Structure 1
Amino acid sequence: MIVYTVGTFDLLHVGHLALLEYCKTLGNIVAVGVASDDVVNSYKPQVPVIPLEQRIEMLRALECVDIVIPYHELEYVSGCKEVKADIFVIGEDWGDKQHNLDVEAYLKSEGKKIIQVSYNPLTSSSMIKQNVMAQTHRSK
């Protein structure tokens, strides 16, 4: 079984690791799609702190990850097709935006599964960035 998940994976942290290790329990191959800076900037006000190539390199170094591919458009069907995903793992904030509906329709038509996972509220790249900014302002 091939498990595919996507994300930015900026400021790699234990929440990311927990997600990827969970993916490994679902199948024998874990493929990770990494959002390019342009993709991230299309839905967030700032681009990642860590450049795309470095985020890819860090993910490739993880024992629980087998395949890492960047994606340059906000759509997931092509990634699912490229890695021949059997299971697509997504976060709990999955919404009804067109790119989400498109991959859901594709996976359903192929008899594949989507699994939603809960985020750990104690770990997020955004929270880490906020903490760094707060500490910087306190030290001035």
Structure 2
Amino acid sequence: MRIGYAAGAFDLFHIGHLNILRRAKEECDYLIAGVVSDEMLELTKGRRAVIPLVERLEIVSHIRFVDQAHAEVLPSKLDTWQQLRFDIFFKGDDWRGTAKGIALEEEFSAVGVEVVYFPYTIDTSSTKLRAALDALAQPAESRAG
């Protein structure tokens, strides 16, 4: 049985998140979705989650492609692997060829884990959704000017 792991904040859940989970499940027998904790999101991305971890876990756990939702609370993906022992790590292709992506591939290669990249959804992202929400939150006179 091939166990896959797809990690993400899954904040402001959108079609890009669903696409990654759907494609990941096509590549493995058992899919674990790692939902990055509020603290780890702040540490790694420098921003707070809009949706709290407990709610994001609830949402992700009910996606039919997901066999298990796991709160990712450790800063190192390798430490998470020590807990879960997955065979494949799924990542958006915006990581491919970057220093972080290359380091991730080397780290996981050493323990026999394959890193598989999926196309990043350009049209929809949590960053764009967050910017739209921020714009809506501004007073009307600020938006007009």
TM-score by length of 2: 0.84
Q: Which position in structure 1 is the counterpart of 2:81? A: 80
Q: Which position in structure 1 is the counterpart of 2:35? A: 34
1:96 aligns with 2:93: no
Task: Give secondary structure in 1 for the equivalent of 2:138.
Answer: helix
Is 1:24–1:64's contact at 8 Å kept on the other side of the alignment?
yes
The C-alpha deviation readout for 1:90-133, integer Å capped at 9, x for no partner, is 11232324x972x4334212332111122111111111111122
Counterpart CA distance in 2 for 1:130 and 1:21 is: 26
Gaps in structure 2 of 5+ consecutive residues: none
Cα offset, 1:37, TM superposition:
1.2
1:52 aligns with 2:91: no
Gaps in structure 1 of 5+ consecutive residues: none
Is 1:92–1:119's contact at 8 Å kept on the other side of the alignment?
yes
Kindly tell me: are residues 100 and 35 of structure 1, through their superposed partners in 2, closer, same or farther at Cα, counting changes over 3 Å? farther
Determine what percentage of the aligned residue pairs are the same residue.
28
Q: Which position in structure 1 is the counterpart of 2:110? A: 109
Counterpart CA distance in 2 for 1:72 and 1:82 is: 11
Cα offset, 1:46, TM superposition:
2.0
Cα offset, 1:79, TM superposition:
2.0
Counterpart CA distance in 2 for 1:75 and 1:110 is: 14
Cα offset, 1:16, TM superposition:
0.3
Q: From the CA coordinates, give the structure whose radius of gyration is larger.
A: 2
Q: Which position in structure 1 is the counterpart of 2:7? A: 6
Task: Give secondary structure in 1 for the equivalent of 2:116.
Answer: strand
Aligned residues: 138
The C-alpha deviation readout for 1:43-89, integer Å capped at 9, x for no partner, is 32321000001100101011100111112232101222322211111
Deviating above 6 A after TM superposition, structure 1's stretches of 4 or more consecutive aligned residues are none
TM-score by length of 1: 0.87
The residue type paired with residue 44 of structure 2 is: Y
Counterpart CA distance in 2 for 1:105 and 1:125 is: 28
Q: Which position in structure 2 is the counterpart of 1:125? A: 126
